[in-house]
Amino acid sequence: MTKVVALITRKNGVPQESFLHHWQIEHPPYVWALPGLQRYVQNPALDRSRTWAYDGMAELWFDSVGDVARAFASPEAVPLRLHEEEFIGEVVWFLTDEREVPDVRDHS
């Protein structure tokens, strides 16, 4: 499987609570409309005393790189992008082939 990993910052002037509402409540139907999407996970940054470089990370799984390209070139991607303009400042993304790392600790 191919995974899109997107590091997200909220748009300037958008409060954290509003950002989370847009992202967690309003945005999922736009994402799930992408053809070929197999799995979608949101990872919002924990609200801590420090400032993080990103407000969250999204993960989108597809069967192939071709499926990613088709999804984001599809008509369904247009309203997704328009919605993102309301609350996302910047998205830095890359494609990955997820590899689980086995536990190699000695459990004896």
**Residue 89 clears pLDDT 80, i.e. is over it:** yes
Whole-prediction pTM value? 0.90
Q: What is the pLDDT of residues 41-85, one digit of tens each?
A: 999 999 877 889 999 999 999 999 999 999 999 999 999 999 999
Question: What is the bridge-based pairing of β-strands 56-62 and 39-44?
Answer: antiparallel
| pLDDT band of 5, cuts 50, 70, 90 | very high
Q: Which two tokens stand for residue 31?
A: 């994402």
For 1-108, strand residue ranges (E) read 2-10, 39-44, 56-62, 88-96
For the chain, what are the domain ranges? 2-96
pLDDT at 7: 98
Distance of alpha carbon 95 from alpha carbon 86, whole angstroms: 24
Distance of alpha carbon 90 from alpha carbon 49, whole angstroms: 22
Q: What is the pLDDT of residues 92-105, one digit of tens each?
A: 999 999 899 999 99
Distance of alpha carbon 35 from alpha carbon 83, whole angstroms: 17
pLDDT at 51: 85
CATH architecture, domain defined by 2-96: 2-Layer Sandwich (3.30)
